[in-house]
Amino acid sequence: MSKNRAAIVLAAGKGKRMESDLPKVLHTINGRPMISVVLERLETLNISKTVLVIGYQGELVQKQLADSRVDFVWQREQLGTGHAVMMARRELADFEGTTLVALGDMPFVSTDSFKNLFDTHESLGAAATCLTAILDDPTGYGRIVRVPDSDLLQEIVEHRDATDEILAIKEINTGAFCFDNRLLYQSLDKITNQNSQQEYYLTDTIKILHGSGQKVAVVTTEDPDEGLGVNSTEQLDLLARKFAEKT
């Protein structure tokens, strides 16, 4: 690859609370599949290769995106976000540069925020950079634990694994990251599934990188709505209304 930016978009989930047999990313926001909105946001960012990780009803996602310039890889078992990114390893084995990881069900993250994430990560020479948001009600989201007296990131703690002290933090992980591709896969080799979900969390790479002395940075979006995800039909309806107001 001649350019130094790649992207992995995670789109394998069913969404157990969506009350539908559709893949989660094919649920629509005002008539458009969420995954189509996310991919459109990435089009102007000089990304040379985009890998889409599919799983549940993946054939439907492939059909929907038949005209998109993406490579598909399969996550046959739903073993967590870290495991999903591992599935893209072969596609990016020879890539040296910055890899964006984004969620296919987060259609509110703007092109400007993705651009700021890339630019900040590259200008700082960071091993990883996380896009965060500050929510009035952060229930259910992974919390951002910063290095004391610093703008750097120490770890991300998932809601179910958090102490009361960490649950009081209102800054959350949007699910969008930039990584040095080589360091991403080195750190993924070290993660385990020793957590409440027994899954391989992508967010565990942050603590590993920080613990090895690498710089892990943070970019905070100015619009807290960019941190909103979809885990139920109620959230989808709320997000659709917010999306309509902004377009």
Q: Are 62 and 72 in contact (CB under 8 A)?
A: yes
Q: What is the secondary structure of 33-57 as a DSSP string?
A: EHHHHHHHHTTTS--SEEEEEE-TT
Torsions phi, psi for 202 (to 5 deg): -60, -35
Phi, psi of 50 (to 5 degrees): -120, 125
Q: Active site includes 241?
A: no
Q: Which of 17, 89, 146, 182 is an active site residue? A: 17
Rounded (10°) CA dihedral 6, 205, 54, 93: 50
φ and ψ at residue 44, rounded to 5 degrees:
-100, 15
Whole-Å CA distances, 62 to 51, 53, 70, 123: 12, 10, 10, 35
What phi, psi does 165 have (nearest 5°)? -65, -45
Q: Which residues are catalytic?
A: 17
